[in-house]
Each structure stands twice: as C-alpha cells, then as structure tokens.
Amino acid sequence: MTDAVRIGLLGRGTVGGAFHELVAERAGAVEAAAGRRPEIAGVLRRADGDFDQILERSEIVVELIGGTEPARDYVLRALRAGRHVVTANKQLIAQFGDELFDVAREAGVQLRFEAAVAGAVPVIRVIQESLAATEITKVFGIVNGTTNFILSEMASTGAEYADVLRRAQELGYAEADPSDDVEGADAAAKMAILARLAFGTPVALADVAYQGITEIQPEDIAYAKELGLSLKLLGVAERRDGGISVRVFPCFLYSGHPLAPVEGPFNAVMVEAPAITEVTMSGPGAGGIETASAVLGDVVSIISGKAPVHATHERLEIVRDIPSAFYLHLEVADRPGVLAQIADVLGRNEVSVRSVVQRGLGNDARLVMVMHEGPESRFFAALEEIATLDFLRAEPRAIRVIEEEFA
C-alpha cells in the first residue's frame, strides 16, 4: 500500500466543509482512479490552526478561504515551499494569476483552479488541456448563476428586480451583499481567467468592461419576449482586429441561440475555434458540493500527473469598439415628428434600425427599437444625442442583442 496524499485544507466554510466530507467519502475512488489515497492532514480555520504546521505536513494545499489576502500569501508560500495548490478562488487567479503561475512554474509544482469558473462544469480543463493546441477564437457564456436565476425569475414572473433579488437571497442563490454578482464583477473576474487561458495573453481585471443587471426593468423583458428574445448576463471574450475584447453585459438572445434555454442558477460556456466549430458545456454554476467536487477533480489530476503550463504566448491588445446590436427603450411625448427626429439622429450616426414597436401610454408613447449590428461607438454617440431631445419623458434604456440565429 502506498502512502496517503496529505492535503492541507485552508478554510472550512460551505465549500471547505463539503470538500472535507467528500475526501473522506471518495478516498477509495480517488485511490482507484489515481493510485493514491487522499487524506486531510490539517485544517486552517479563521481562528484556529497554524499555517506553517499545516504546510509542513501537506503535499497538496487546498485554498478555500476566498478573497485575496491572506489567501494570496498562503498560496505563494505553499508554492514556494514546493507544494501543489488547488484553489476555487476566482479573485485570486484573476488578479494575481500571472504572479502565481510564474511562482508555480519556477517551483515545478501545479496550481489548479477548475472550481474558480463555472463550478462543476469543467471549462478550465477543457480549454487548458483538450483545446491546448487549438486556436480558440471566442469563449462566451453565462458564468454567474445568481444573475441567471434572477433574470429567469423576472422573465417567468414579471416581477421587479428588487423583489426577485430578495427571493434569490431567501433561496440561498444570492448573498446578503449581492453587489459582486449583480453588478457583473464576479462574471468579469471569471471572464478575465477564461480569456487569459484561451488566448495565452495577460488579462487584468481592469481590461474587462462590465455591466450588471441592476437597471433591468420587467417591461424590457416583456417587450423583448414579444420579439422572441430572452435576457442573459453574458460574458464574451474574443479575438478581434489582432487584439482581444473581454466584456460582461446583459444581452438579449434570439430563441434559437444555444444559450437561450439556460435557465435558473446554471452556467453554460461555449468555446469556438475553427478546428472544433463550437463546443458547449453547461451545468450547475456553484453550490458547496459541486465546487468541492471540482476541487477534488483537481486533486486527482495532481496525484496522477503533470500540470498544464499556463504559458503566456503573447501580449494581445484590448479592443474596445466592438460591433453590437442594441435594443433601445424610449418614453416620448406622443406628438408628430418624434419618430422622424429619432430616426434622423440614428441615421446621421449610421445606426440602422431592424424593428420598431410603438405603443401609446396616455399622452406619452413607448418606442422599442432593435438595431442592426454596428460599431458601439456610433450607437452610443446617437444615444447621447437622443438623451438631449426635449420630448423624452424618461432616461433611454439600451441593452445589447445577439443577432445570430441558429438552425
């Protein structure tokens, strides 16, 4: 019988607890799959345990504390001491990935982080290993389960954002302070990680333009439904004009789109490359046991083999003016010439209209327009002009639309 693989566990919250139990439960299965049995050699809790002692006793350090400090310090010390590290910490990888990858490479140890993006959906492994030799052109999808749950609920119930958020918090799908999720920062960190791995280029958090779902109105979702559209918070990382673009934004999808049916707290990621057309992966985005399961998968990989390299191949520029199509919601005074003036502003800015729905509302009218794809800069220039028109009764609302329809 071979020695057990000793694991130092940092953090024992929801995920840490689930991981601790899973190791006990699946130790035999890990041994069967990887040749050695894992065991927890020590646990560092906030108020309890000595990091150096745990490090001394461990071959692999599993970091499930979250946040950047002291997680970063512990992970760096573990790597430098020649320990493999597994983490589920997206902020740590998104903000300090390059530093950590360098240190791991120098120390000749593995740093794995499958659980940092899309929970149990093995998108990191697929990008880093299955597609390591593939020229990926685009990675996009739904990488935040909280916001997808909220948008699905808003669409099916017609309820206001604030009410649905409260329900999500009651069900445990949203945290007490939900800002990281609903403002898009969580998805932005995940997209920074995916873009880095897919394109082999450094991507800083500041490179990711993001926007959340806090401004979404039920009536936008209702109008869009009539047009066959459903709303998702989308992360998109793509090669463009010799550089890359990495963004997170709420977006309407036509019903034929493969991501349109993804409902509730699920994640789904699509990878496009000439050699594979597109591969889609979906599953539950988070949850203690799903995340713990992804962490254990990384532990199995460490026990049975060598690491992916995380090399940076080149430094690609961030491209910002992307062609997009937009949904535009306007409340205007119901009087002659209004539509003509708006059409004039759009026309001068070379923004082309695809469809218009107009509805009366007392003395006012609502105008819902969907544009054809064009440079965002032009649309935003038009929007700025429109916002100054005197017949406007409320702030205009613009939401991106993905035009592609699938067979």
Q: Does 284 bind its own copies (CB under 8 A)?
A: yes
Which of 208, 238, 203 lies closest to 97, judged by CA?
203
Q: Does 151 bind its own copies (CB under 8 A)?
A: no
Using CB under 8 A, pick the residue from 305, 323, 355, 361 that binds its own copies: 305
The three-state secondary structure class of 80 is helix
One of 190, 225, 232, 306 is an active-site residue; which one? 190
HSE-up (13 A, CA, CB side) for residue 207: 25
CA triple 264-324-190, angle to 5 deg: 45
Return the residues of window 244-273 that contact its own copies according to CB under 8 A: 258, 261, 263-264, 273
Return the residues of window 200-229 that contact its own copies according to CB under 8 A: 200
Q: How far apart are CA 61 and CA 107, in angstroms?
A: 14
Residue 1 or 275: which CB sits closer to its own copies?
275
Task: Using the rule CB under 8 A, give the single segment among 46-54, 227-235, 274-282, 322-330 that binds its own copies.
Answer: 274-282
Cβ atoms of residues 141 and 259 within 8 Å: yes
Q: Does 47 bind its own copies (CB under 8 A)?
A: no
Using CB under 8 A, pick the residue from 4, 14, 17, 34 that binds its own copies: 34
Cβ atoms of residues 216 and 139 within 8 Å: no
Cβ atoms of residues 351 and 374 within 8 Å: yes
Task: Please state the closest distance from residue 38 (CB atom) to its own copies, in A.
Answer: 9
Q: Does 353 bind its own copies (CB under 8 A)?
A: no
104 phi, psi to nearest 5 deg: -65, -45
Q: Does 184 bind its own copies (CB under 8 A)?
A: no
Using CB under 8 A, pick the residue from 1, 162, 176, 275 that binds its own copies: 275
x-or-dash pattern for its own copies, window 95-114, by CB under 8 A? -------------------x
Using CB under 8 A, pick the residue from 11, 168, 308, 373 that binds its own copies: 308
Q: Does 134 bind its own copies (CB under 8 A)?
A: yes
Q: How far apart are CA 65 and CA 276, in angstroms?
A: 37
Task: Please state the closest distance from residue 105 (CB atom) to its own copies, in A.
Answer: 11
Q: Does 292 bind its own copies (CB under 8 A)?
A: yes
Q: Does 276 bind its own copies (CB under 8 A)?
A: yes
Residue 209 or 307: which CB sits closer to its own copies?
307
Residue with tokens 């990878």: 271
Is omega for the bond preceding 70 within 30 degrees of 0, making it cis? yes
The three-state secondary structure class of 84 is strand
Positive or negative, the CA dihedral 326, 188, 241, 199 is negative
Using CB under 8 A, pick the residue from 5, 10, 15, 22 that binds its own copies: 22
Q: Does 313 bind its own copies (CB under 8 A)?
A: yes
Using alpha carbons, list the distances in angstroms from residue 260 to 142, 243, 251, 373, 403: 10, 28, 11, 19, 12
Alpha helices in 2-125 (DSSP H): 14-34, 51-57, 71-80, 90-107, 123-125
Q: How far apart are CA 150 and CA 232, in angstroms?
A: 10
Task: Please state the closest distance from residue 75 (CB atom) to its own copies, in A.
Answer: 22
190 an active-site residue?
A: yes
Residue 281 or 339: which CB sits closer to its own copies?
281
Q: Does 46 bind its own copies (CB under 8 A)?
A: no
Question: Which residues sit at the interface with its own copies, rule CB under 8 A?
Answer: 22, 26, 29-30, 32-35, 114, 120-122, 125-126, 129-135, 200, 258, 261, 263-264, 273-284, 287, 289-290, 292-294, 296-297, 299-301, 304-309, 311, 313, 407
Q: Annotated active-site positions, please?
A: 190
